[in-house]
């Protein structure tokens, strides 16, 4: 299974929360840095991932998620698919 992707700087608290959940379920993941200084979070590419232009954003194959409220869903899905 391809590793899931988490978009955002790993030092961000909200990104770290996603990473903690992924560690908890033992999922393979890749952190894709988003350069805040370069306003990469407002770029057209990132707005596809998160229309609010915020981090974190989460990708599992074709599934794109944003918003911390989606975390339990995504982590449960990952747990069940292992
Ligand atoms: N409610 C959001 C919070 C995410 C958030 O506040 N991200 C901040 C950085 S930690 C952000 O992207 N700020 C940039 C902006 O709002 O333009 C979520 O659940 O994902």
Task: Indicate the pTM of the whole model.
Answer: 0.88
Residue 77: Cβ-neighbour burial (10 angstroms; 0-12, 13-18, 19+) = middle
Contacts with 63 (C-beta within 8 Å, 6 or more apart), sequence order: 74, 77
Q: Measured from the CB, is residue 54 less than 6 Å from ligand 1?
A: yes
Which residues partner with 4 through β-bridges? 29
Asked if residue 43 has its Cβ within 6 Å of ligand 1, the reply is: no
pLDDT 10s digits, 9-67: 989 999 998 898 888 888 899 999 999 999 999 999 999 999 999 999 999 888 898 98
Residue with CA nearest ligand 1 atom 6: 54
Domains in the chain: ranges and CATH: 4-80 (3.40.30.10)
* CA nearest neighbour of 80 among 28, 43, 27, 41: 27
């Amino acid at each position: 299974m391809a590793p899931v992707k988490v978009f955002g700087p790993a030092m961000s608290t909200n990104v770290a929360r996603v990473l903690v959940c992924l560690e908890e379920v033992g999922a393979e993941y890749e952190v894709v840095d988003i350069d805040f200084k370069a306003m990469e979070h407002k770029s057209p590419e990132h707005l596809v991932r998160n229309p609010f232009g915020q981090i974190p954003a989460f990708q599992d194959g074709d599934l794109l998620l944003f918003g911390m409220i989606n975390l339990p869903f995504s982590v449960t899905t990952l747990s069940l698919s292992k």
